[in-house]
Structure 1
């Protein structure tokens, strides 16, 4: 239709039309219009009359066309696109604000609250970015809605909808009214109105992005340090009492007794300023224990135990007599045995200590008649030797290297024993000692040198029995053990762990007397116990409640207490033969409880979706209006409504005398208008 084609032609801006009386000249013949066209200028225009006027104008000669109408469509659209630069710039601001939010959150995720000036928080910074994002986004949407009202009136529409478009660009309530009025008849405008309403949720949703929680932060070593004691060597000695023998110091004896009688008191001192620390794998010279159940190797026999000599008196005469004592003998294959008399004493518990590694064998035999502490009906009772009638165990205390990790939580230490090693080699070339080397501590060159002289080292080897000199500092290997033609090798002192051999021998001597003796009981005398030896052996007796588990636990407690003493002993107290330069405590990591930021990234999807929809909305608005350029990019301009409002005749006929809002709203409900080109340019023409 010719009238539709007429809509596609360009027209001047409002201000240009207001200041220019006419942009074209009309010939005399043009003034001779048809009656119908003349009537249309006087009365409200109908659709038919408007069409006739357009057709009359189309065939009127001598019409001078504005220079703007002759521009190429591509240049015209480019100029039109330039009028949207504020909205395009705002779109960049929206994207930048979204990136700023993401960057701020990612750089502080799972980190403590920053200490910024003026107590500015991450949440407040994000809130500022959200305000910028929301403001720029709403500017784009409101200007787009403002432009949509001009394209909406390409056809005849109720005049009141013009007010709804204007209200929608001013706030959520107007947007809701526009959504209800349009009923999705204008998709782009409906989407814009929905975005304005949904944008209300941007602020509360943004508050959900950040959640605060307590977390542990590792402090730098320069700020705070943690430590736990450990040692590479042990060479403590007391008073000299013989060739290669010395007494144990009183402190070491106390530590052994503490492990036997009061294992709960065995504590390790540590340094942890905040009360929360962690310690990576560390090694220390120590003592370990192992117990083996020998009960199955026991054998019992009946026969003559001993001969009892006695002097008796008959009147004034005295006679020496002997009589046999019969009973049972319970023994181990190595000949160590206990006896139980048929009438009289029973060797309830007997110890025998060897002179090396404190191999102590204990036997409790012939206890069938001593079940006074239970009926052997529970699992715990069934494990006791008294329920079995006999029992034996072989236990050993030996030097070892313990590897630990540790944590300190709320100032409570929890050590975890990772592994133990008893790979020791003996060297007496200078200072006799039992030595071990941590392979992981060695450099690749030293490791290869040790392999070359005959040490067996593989990828899985952790410790090797080292046959080098026991001198601390940089110690030199003794290659003659394997290959005398190989030059000497220097092994760093921090990689060596050793115990001084005289210290070990003194401990042997002490333990031989510490756990050597027996406990007897006389059933005929109400189970009267008698200890033949040191009082410490009564701890194992435990009034008959003995088992392999209880014995193993006691030896484990003793070794733990000895290890704690070794780790915390002072090498400068005058009792240490070798000055251990490698006794530095194991360093740890100090953790401090802070309030940290947890980013809940899922909530960021909401503003991202709004930004994408706003971008699509702006592109749709520009494309929609660039193809239908009845009006320029007037958007929400109030000047456009002033210069291109109702045509004068419609305003004079239907708007005269109306001053109240109610009158104007009533008139707008009954009036349908359309944006058309009239004598003064584009105006809203009554189409009723």
Structure 2
């Protein structure tokens, strides 16, 4: 029994020590951490549109002036595109951190490929280099002319305005590394519909194009590009039903041709072909209007037609657009593709910002706010919990080990009477017939009166009072 009591006492002492080091763990339970919360009271939007009809005005039969912001966009894309073209897209994000569901918008797309095998080497056995990129009359792209590289001409271009595209351009460039070969490229710009995934992080818009589809001519609307399809009707997280409607009720519907969207962009579709037609909801029809079509084509042609780089001694002469394209002789397929992508992206930003319905066509997003949150670190709670559990276990063991009889009930802190009686005068002890058990000492203490004095040896002793 005494052994069990000693063990319990040791456990109690150990628990007392462990409790003393619990404070650092308790302080670590609660932490202050940065977090992001969705704020429904704030707004977020990014521009998009189904229709582009902006123009600078009608100037004659099948002639229109280019819209001034589009003219600026074309110049910017060709001469000095920004590092982040997404900065040109109209965006609202009050917190600086927003997300948008997948959405689609009218846009301008491009494609480029290398046509070097079509180059004809006209170099004579003796004489200057001379390369030619002839125009194949069997092609449907009307308007190309033969391109030549003379001894002083290191790059030249030819532009065609085919019915299918906003622009077709061919580029012939001398290989300035060896001067013994040339490279040729062909690119197109065409109206399309792009599908995006977008987000704003620290006030910077990031977009990823997940798909793009070319537009075709609307046989019932003249020279306008139209695409009607159910695959591109995403606006935020909402997907519309864009299936063809019956003709018994055409309210709110538009009749359009159904172009072959699977055709490669470089394969022109004749505007006179009898394409099948149908009636579709207005919000499911993507339209690039006739007026901007007529105005944009000659505007881009003016920059890229007969764009050449001439060498005079060690100086290369040409327009800014030509120099940006030529890149000091480092022109290749990747650089040409980047050049055309910058142009198409800047033009697309203008188109998206020019929605006829303004912000009513924009995509709404979710706003997230950087803030400070209180975090409960549950792992740090394990030590205090273990201490509490150990305390309950200790008291349970103590209850089980304690005697049931009240008379023999053990007290963790014994009475001080036994210590006091150690200094009791012997006469008092004999008079009271004092025993050595706890209960006997308690009974004698009730009837004894003593006072603390010095004995003959100068020690403190309880003497009879």
Structure 2 length normalisation: TM-score?
0.72
User: Is 1:249–2:96 an aligned residue pair?
Assistant: no
Residue pairs, 1:157-306, within 5 angstroms: 186-220=6-40, 223-264=41-82, 266=85, 267-302=88-123
Q: Structure 1 residue 556 and structure 2 residue 341: aligned?
A: yes
Change in CA separation of 1:256 and 1:402 when aligned onto 2, cut-off 3 Å? same
Q: Secondary structure at the match of 1:439?
A: coil
Pick aligned residue for 1:474 from 252, 260, 284: 252
Structure 1 Cα separation of the partners of residues 369 and 154 of structure 2:
59
Match for residue 511 of structure 1 among 290, 300, 318: 300
Matched, 1:521 2:310: yes
User: What is the count of residue pairs matched by the alignment?
Assistant: 402
Question: Do the aligned partners of residues 227 and 394 (structure 1) sit closer, same or farther apart at CA in structure 2, a change above 3 Å counting?
Answer: same
Contact kept? 1:517, 1:537, Cα under 8 Å: no
* CA distance, structure 1, for counterparts of residue 279 and residue 405 of structure 2: 92
Query: Contact 1:230/1:567 (CA < 8 Å) preserved in 2?
Result: yes
> Following the alignment from structure 1 to structure 2, what is the Cα–Cα distance between the partners of residues 430 and 340?
42
Q: Which residue of 2 aligns with 1:435?
A: 227
2:448 — aligned with what? none
Q: Decide whether aligned partners of structure 1 residues 476 and 253 sit closer, same or farther in structure 2, where only a CA change above 3 A counts.
A: closer
From the superposition, tell whether residues 582 and 233 of structure 1 become closer, same or farther in structure 2 (CA, over 3 Å): farther
**In structure 2, do the counterparts of structure 1 residues 303 and 203 end up closer, same or farther at CA, with 3 Å as the change threshold?**
closer
What is the distance in 2 between the residues matched to 1:194 and 1:243?
Answer: 100
Alignment of 1:331-342 (within 5 A): 331-332=133-134, 334=136, 337-340=146-149
Measure, in 1, the Cα distance between the counterparts of 2:315 and 2:24: 82
CA contact 1:519–1:529 (8 Å) conserved in 2? no
- Give the counterpart of 1:408 among 178, 195, 200: 200
2:368 is matched with: 591
Q: Which residue of 2 aligns with 1:349?
A: 156
Q: How does 1:582-621 map to 2 (within 5 A)?
A: 583-621=360-398
Inter-partner Cα distance in structure 1 for 2:240 and 2:53: 30
Higher strand residue share:
2
2:461 corresponds to: none
Structure with the larger helix share: 1
Cα distance in 1 for residues equivalent to 2:19 and 2:294: 84
Q: Quick one: distance in 2 between partners of 1:520 and 1:479?
A: 43
RMSD: 4.2
CA apart distance, 1:274: 2.8
Unaligned runs of 5+ in 2: 138-144, 261-276, 427-434, 445-465
* Pairing 1:39-58 to 2, within 5 Å after superposition: none
Tell me how far 1:345 sits from its aligned partner: 5.1
Output aligned runs, 1:493-512, within 5 Å. Answer: 493-512=282-301
Deviations 1:64-120 (A, max 9, x none): xxxxxxxxxxxxxxxxxxxxxxxxxxxxxxxxxxxxxxxxxxxxxxxxxxxxxxxxx
Contact 1:232–1:580 (CA under 8 A) maintained in structure 2: no
